[in-house]
């Protein structure tokens, strides 16, 4: 620092040098730009700036040429702004083009720098550039003292802001600020347009009612440059713009999800309402959470996962941000119940239901129907969107949702459907009498041994497309998937081993690491050829690795079951249906369409092909399958002894939605069951069905009803616990009995007793114990654990007699013994954390062990909410909360934060931890490019999604804490007011 005087120089934020005494700018009549009293001055400044731009200048000249508020000597205690308060108050607030002109000046003087904040700099110089202060200020401009104080307070605020910015350590680009302002303005315009919409309006904003930034993000993050014609037509429908309910139906891979995402973004950003997206499977929920995290970070909304044991009830109340809840069918129902109970359902602006046809599929369809019916009945401002690739009786669904329909046959890639009989290929042609038209003979050269091994010529069909293109083979059973994959590799040439050899080696290493050193022998043999199998017998980690490898072309062939068709989107060039059967049942039209819909990869293939392999005996049945319409969708509320309707009525009474028979009937008028009651209510009408359910609930002590026809229906404590915990009514009494009995002698020195209590009842029939293994595990238990086992009704003598093959005369409940066996499996998982090791020890499939673990975590969460409603079960509240987390992640404590990130499994968490990314904060601040290079076998795209998901989780946690702070510091609404002072006599 020089010994001379210091010059404080503050960048101008105004285009003009007005003084405190100069006249205020005024506007032309009717609005317009403000004008100064000296227009010639700005012209001279513009000409000077133009000359200076072309002339070379030294750094000192560039600094001196900038407009200046003040240059003077000052100490730390001096006011840097002096008497320029009115200049700050008038000039900054009076000119709307300041930011643009300041940017232009900064770009000229500091190329490549666009600082977000004003710079406060110290440099040598004198006072010669101090702006002149005029004394001829008009009297009316001075104003009264209050006005001057008001103006000074504004100036003080600006000064503090500028000084704070100057002291900030980092600078953000001013272009980012300007873009944010533009986005805010576009959202404001869209909101106004949505409030006052007219029939002539065809678009609400730059991108279907959204700011142009969304279009840029779709291009950058998704590679989407232009929407399909049907997508534009659908988004411009009057019912969409006027927020009426809509059902839209298109073939698989037609781009349905993008339309839903645009509508969700419009609700989140423009109407500032929360949204709920319902997906059928946990894997789909996690995939969607990962995919939307980047959009949420860019557009400032939260993406919250509700699947398995994850999700908060009630959800955290957000004051300044909106949330997108991505949920499975069951979690969506619990979430809606929670919003109703807390009076927050009106905050839900949009409900999107994917795979709408699942309304007609078992108990899950009943849960989906309950969720939609509650939203429609209780929130008149919530828009409902349903989408599906396969819909039959669409009129019934329209009546249920009170929705309009948009349908199209569009597919981005043409689908050609074929069937194979013997060695002939026929194209499906409904115009032909037989339903098929001869296409070609299948060329193949088989030896006699190959003909015996592969009588259906699968090898010939797949080698026509692999390895250059991908292929899926749908098989009727899990074992058949493995056999087909192994059989194909047996006859593939050595060239397949050299195709992407290094990447397949890395995949094998990842599979082995994910299995803790163990690996499936079938995959070890098939993966080098680019072939694998995919079914529920795989662990979650294995499925994820194989799906990623297939989508990146490392694997070219998967043998899979029909569950893949309804799960993760893995398109292929050719889809082969090994048989027209799923297990022993003939294919349904819906299942067939879902499978063949995987054929054709948009942007990669010009055509997709499906081949159904038939035997002569199945030819006529296949014709009916291929040419018949879609199956109809019927309500499942009355299935399984009306279990769905019982659950619905119980929750309606508990949520105070209905308290009488009439109110229940009024609600049921809005269900799919009511639409289809003539067909479904064969044993009396809908009212009779409701009365039977009321009597059943009363007999189970779940509700009380002195008179079912009067407004006296009330839920009991047990009934409230059942519906709030989401417990199946079939098991709610058994769960209460087990938890109550457990309190009498709860074993806390081990997890075994708690694990027994949260072992899912519905999995018990699926497991048949190996009694020798059972006895071996039983004898390794501690004395306290064996005593606990005897207390619940499974003594060692019973297990020993069963292992010896002897007849057991004592009445031991077989279900309790099987449930304890599953609890032993869970206990080993908590100790070893290796699914492979536990599966081998108990001789169970690793897929079943994984399912047991995830189901136990979900049921433990249900039991926790169940216990929270019953005072006598208070000890379980903290015990089950801790156990839920242990079962959810089932890893060492240090890996739990990383496991919270969607898509991160145990093997990947270990890699991240070893690489130094040990907390959520570490991962959220990682560079995806560096992360992909640091962590072995991690694609850059996967790393980017992982980082975005971590950032979203961190943001969600921070927002929840901030909401808690705000709530604690808020003034209570019911704060007692002080008594007014009494008047003196």
For residue 24, what pLDDT is reported? Answer: 43
* Cα end-to-end distance, the chain, whole Å: 74
SS3 for 53-108, per residue? Answer: HHCCCCHHHHHHHCCECCCCCCCCCCCCCCCCHHHHHHHHHHCCCHHHHHHHHHHH
Among 209-223, 506-520, 560-574, 722-736, where is mean pLDDT lowest?
Answer: 560-574
Sign of CA dihedral 721, 726, 730, 736: negative
767/702 same-domain check:
no
Please check whether residues 711 and 736 belong to one and the same domain. Answer: no
Q: In the block, which residue shows the tokens 């105070």?
A: 656
- Range with lowest mean pLDDT among 421-430, 942-951, 967-976: 967-976
Give the model's confidence band at 160: pLDDT under 50 very low, under 70 low, under 90 confident, else very high. Answer: low
CB neighbours (10 Å) of residue 868?
A: 18
Evaluate if residue 151 carries a pLDDT over 50.
no
Q: Say if CB 562 and CB 586 are below 8 A apart.
A: no
Instruction: Check residue 206 and give its pLDDT.
Output: 72
Mean pLDDT, residues 644-663 taken together: 94
Domain containing residue 594: 414-627
| Most confident stretch, 22-31, 64-73, 90-99, 295-304 | 295-304
Q: Quick one: 328 and 471 in the same domain? A: no
- Tell which of 382, 407, 432 closes a domain: 407
Contact predicate 796/789, CB 8 Å: yes
Report helix angle 846-868 to 835-842, nearest 10: 100
Q: What is the pLDDT of residue 652?
A: 96
Residue 610 sits in the same domain as residue 656: no
In terms of pLDDT, which residue wins out, 88 or 95? 95
pLDDT at 65 over 50: no
pLDDT greater than 60 at residue 98? no
Q: What is the pLDDT of residue 179?
A: 57
| In the block, residue with structure tokens 């909410």 | 865
Q: Which residue has the higher pLDDT, 193 or 610?
A: 610
The residues that bridge with 415 in the sheet, in sequence order, are 608
760 and 816 inside one domain = yes
At 13, the pLDDT band (50, 70, 90 cuts) reads: very low
Question: What pLDDT is recorded for position 178?
Answer: 60
pLDDT at 133 over 80: no
Same domain for 508 and 359? no
pLDDT tens across 759-814, in order?
999 999 988 899 999 999 999 999 999 999 999 989 898 999 889 888 776 677 88
Looking at the fold, whether 264 and 217 belong to one and the same domain comes out as: yes
φ/ψ of residue 599, rounded to 5: -80, 130
Which band of pLDDT confidence, cut at 50, 70 and 90, is reported for residue 264? very high
The answer to whether residues 648 and 593 belong to one domain is no
Find how far residue 812's CA is from the centre of its chain.
45
Write down which residue in 689, 715, 741 finishes a domain: 715
8 Å CB contact between 94 and 27:
no
Say if residues 816 and 792 touch (Cβ distance below 8 Å): yes
Tell me what the mean pLDDT of segment 328-354 comes to: 95
Which token pair is 882?
């801790």
Note the pLDDT of residue 710: 61
Q: What is the pLDDT of residue 550?
A: 93
Residue 724's pLDDT band, with cuts at 50, 70 and 90, is very high
Give the model's pLDDT for residue 76.
Answer: 38
Q: Are 352 and 387 in contact (CB under 8 A)?
A: yes
pLDDT band at 61 (very low <50, low <70, confident <90, very high): very low
Is residue 76 in some structural domain? no
- Residue ranges with strand state E in 530-663: 531-534, 557-560, 574-577, 581-582, 585-586, 607-614
Which is it for the CA torsion 933, 936, 940, 944, positive or negative?
negative
| Statement to judge: residues 512 and 420 lie in one domain | yes
Domain assignment present for 99: no
pTM of the model: 0.77
On the question of pLDDT at 854 being above 50, the answer is yes
CB neighbours of residue 356 within 10 Å: 26
Is the pLDDT confidence value at 327 over 70?
A: yes
State the pLDDT at residue 184.
Answer: 63
Q: Is residue 39 part of a domain?
A: no
Answer whether residue 174 is part of any domain: no
pLDDT value at residue 657: 94
Q: What's the CATH number where 465 sits?
A: 3.40.50.300
Secondary structure (3-state) at 278: strand
**Per this entry, what is the length of the chain?**
985
Q: How many whole angstroms separate alpha carbon 238 and alpha carbon 937?
A: 48
Domain count, the chain: 4
For residue range 385-410, list pLDDT tens digits in order: 999 887 788 999 999 999 999 999 88
For the chain, the average pLDDT equals: 81
Confidence at 163, pLDDT banded by 50, 70, 90: low
Q: Tally Cβ neighbours within 10 Å of residue 804.
A: 10
Q: Report the C-alpha gap between 490 and 526 in whole angstroms.
A: 9
Q: Looking at the predicted structure, is the pLDDT value of residue 120 above 60?
A: no
Let me know if residue 743 belongs to a domain: yes
The helix-helix angle for 39-54 and 98-109 (nearest 10°) equals: 30
Average pLDDT over residues 228-235: 93
Average pLDDT score over residue span 955-982: 84
Give the end of a domain, one of 627, 655, 670. Answer: 627
Range with the poorest average pLDDT among 183-192, 334-343, 579-588, 952-961: 183-192
Report the share of the chain in percent with pLDDT over 70. Answer: 78
For residue 982, being part of any structural domain is answered with no
Q: Mean pLDDT throughout 560-574? A: 80
Pair (465, 568) in one structural domain? yes
Whether residues 372 and 280 fall in one domain: yes
Contact in structure between 802 and 776 (CB atoms under 8 Å):
no
Encode pLDDT of 25-58 as tens digits. 444 444 444 444 444 444 444 444 444 444 444 4
pLDDT at 983: 67
* 400 within some domain: yes
Residues 345 and 492 in one domain: no
158 confidence band (pLDDT: 50, 70, 90): low
| 984 in a structural domain | no
H helical segments located in 218-281: 229-235, 238-241, 256-269
CATH of the domain at 687: 1.10.10.10
């Amino acid at each position: 620092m020089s010994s001379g005087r210091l010059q404080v120089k503050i960048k101008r934020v105004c285009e003009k040098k007005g003084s405190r005494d100069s006249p205020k700018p005024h506007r032309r009549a009717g609005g317009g730009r403000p004008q100064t009293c000296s227009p010639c001055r700005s012209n001279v400044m513009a000409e000077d700036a133009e000359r200076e731009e072309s002339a070379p200048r030294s750094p000192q000249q560039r600094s001196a040429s900038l407009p200046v508020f003040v240059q003077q000597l000052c100490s730390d205690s001096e006011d840097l702004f002096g008497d320029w308060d009115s200049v700050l108050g008038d000039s900054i607030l009076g000119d709307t083009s300041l930011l643009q002109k300041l940017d232009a000046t900064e770009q000229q003087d500091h190329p490549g720098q666009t600082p977000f904040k004003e710079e406060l700099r110290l440099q040598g110089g004198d006072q010669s550039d101090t702006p002149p202060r005029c004394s001829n200020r008009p009297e009316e401009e001075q104003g009264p003292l209050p006005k001057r104080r008001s103006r000074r307070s504004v100036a003080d605020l600006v000064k503090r802001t500028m000084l704070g910015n100057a002291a900030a350590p980092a600078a953000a680009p001013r272009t980012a600020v300007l873009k944010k302002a533009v986005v805010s303005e576009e959202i404001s315009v869209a909101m106004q347009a949505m409030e006052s919409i007219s029939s002539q309006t065809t678009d609400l904003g730059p991108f279907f009612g959204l700011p142009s930034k969304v279009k840029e993000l779709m291009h950058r993050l998704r590679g989407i440059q232009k929407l399909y014609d049907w997508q534009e037509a659908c988004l411009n429908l009057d019912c969409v713009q006027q927020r009426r309910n809509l059902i839209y139906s298109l073939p698989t891979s037609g781009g349905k999800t993008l339309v839903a995402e645009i509508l969700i973004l419009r609700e989140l950003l423009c109407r500032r309402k929360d949204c709920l997206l319902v997906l059928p499977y946990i894997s789909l929920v996690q995939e969607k959470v990962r995919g939307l995290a980047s959009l949420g970070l860019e557009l400032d909304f939260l993406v919250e996962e509700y699947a398995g044991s994850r999700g908060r009830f009630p959800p955290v109340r957000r004051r300044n941000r909106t949330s997108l809840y991505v949920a499975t069918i069951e979690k969506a129902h619990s979430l809606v119940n929670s919003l109703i109970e807390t009076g927050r359902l009106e905050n839900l602006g949009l409900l999107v239901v994917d795979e709408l046809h699942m309304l007609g599929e078992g108990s899950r369809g009943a849960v989906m129907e309950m969720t939609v019916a509650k939203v429609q009945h209780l929130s008149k401002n919530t828009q409902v969107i349903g989408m599906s690739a396969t819909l039959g009786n669409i009129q019934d669904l329209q009546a249920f949702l009170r929705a309009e329909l948009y349908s199209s046959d569009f597919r981005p890639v043409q689908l050609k459907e074929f069937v194979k009989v013997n060695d002939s290929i026929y194209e499906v042609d409904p115009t032909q009498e037989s339903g098929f038209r001869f296409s070609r003979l299948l060329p193949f050269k088989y030896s006699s041994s190959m003909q015996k091994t592969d009588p259906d010529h699968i090898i010939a069909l797949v080698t026509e497309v692999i390895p250059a293109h991908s292929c899926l083979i749908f098989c009727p059973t899990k074992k058949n998937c493995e056999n087909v994959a192994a059989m194909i590799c047996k006859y593939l040439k050595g060239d397949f081993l050299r195709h992407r050899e290094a990447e397949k080696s890395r995949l094998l290493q990842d599979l082995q690491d994910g299995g803790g050193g163990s690996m499936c022998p079938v995959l070890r043999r098939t993966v080098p050829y680019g072939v694998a199998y995919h079914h529920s017998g795989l662990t979650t980690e294995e499925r994820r690795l194989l799906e990623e490898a297939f989508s990146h072309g490392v694997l070219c062939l998967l043998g899979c079951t029909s569950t893949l068709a309804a799960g993760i989107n893995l398109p292929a060039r050719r889809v082969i249906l090994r048989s027209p059967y799923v297990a022993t049942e003939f294919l349904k039209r819906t299942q067939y369409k879902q499978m063949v819909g995987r054929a054709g990869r948009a942007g990669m293939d010009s055509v997709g092909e499906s081949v159904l392999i038939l035997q002569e005996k199945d030819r006529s049945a296949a014709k009916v399958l291929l040419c018949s319409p879609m199956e109809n969708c019927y309500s499942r509320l009355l299935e399984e002894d009306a279990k769905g309707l019982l659950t619905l009525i119980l929750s309606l009474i508990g949520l105070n939605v209905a308290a009488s028979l009439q109110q229940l009937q009024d609600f049921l008028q809005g269900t799919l069951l009511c639409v289809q009651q003539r067909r479904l209510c064969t044993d009396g009408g809908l009212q009779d069905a409701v009365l039977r359910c009321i009597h059943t609930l009363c007999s189970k002590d779940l509700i009380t009803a002195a008179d079912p026809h009067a407004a006296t229906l009330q839920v009991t404590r047990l009934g409230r616990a059942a519906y709030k915990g989401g417990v199946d009514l079939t098991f709610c009494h058994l769960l209460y009995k087990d938890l109550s009995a457990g309190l009498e002698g709860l074993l806390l020195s081990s997890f075994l007793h708690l694990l027994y209590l949260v072992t899912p009842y519905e999995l018990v029939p699926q497991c048949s114990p190996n009694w020798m293994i059972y006895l071996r595990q039983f004898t390794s238990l501690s004395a306290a654990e064996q005593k606990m086992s005897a207390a619940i009704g499974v003594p060692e003598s019973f297990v020993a007699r069963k292992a010896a093959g002897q007849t057991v005369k004592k009445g031991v409940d077989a279900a309790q013994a099987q449930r304890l066996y599953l609890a032993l499996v869970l206990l080993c998982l908590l100790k070893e954390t290796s699914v492979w090791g536990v599966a081998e020890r108990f001789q169970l499939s690793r897929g079943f062990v994984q399912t047991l673990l995830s189901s136990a975590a979900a049921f433990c969460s249900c039991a926790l909410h169940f216990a929270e409603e019953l005072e006598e079960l208070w000890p379980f509240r903290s015990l089950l909360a801790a156990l839920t987390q242990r079962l959810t992640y089932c890893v060492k404590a240090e890996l739990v934060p990383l496991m919270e990130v969607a898509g991160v499994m145990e093997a990947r968490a270990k890699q991240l931890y070893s690489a130094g990314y040990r907390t959520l904060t570490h991962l959220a601040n990682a560079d995806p490019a560096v992360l992909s290079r640091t962590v072995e076998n991690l694609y850059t795209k996967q790393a980017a999604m992982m980082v975005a998901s971590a950032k979203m989780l961190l943001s969600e946690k921070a927002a929840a804490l901030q909401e808690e702070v705000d709530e604690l510091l808020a003034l209570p609404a019911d704060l007692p007011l002080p008594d007014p002072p009494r008047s003196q006599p």
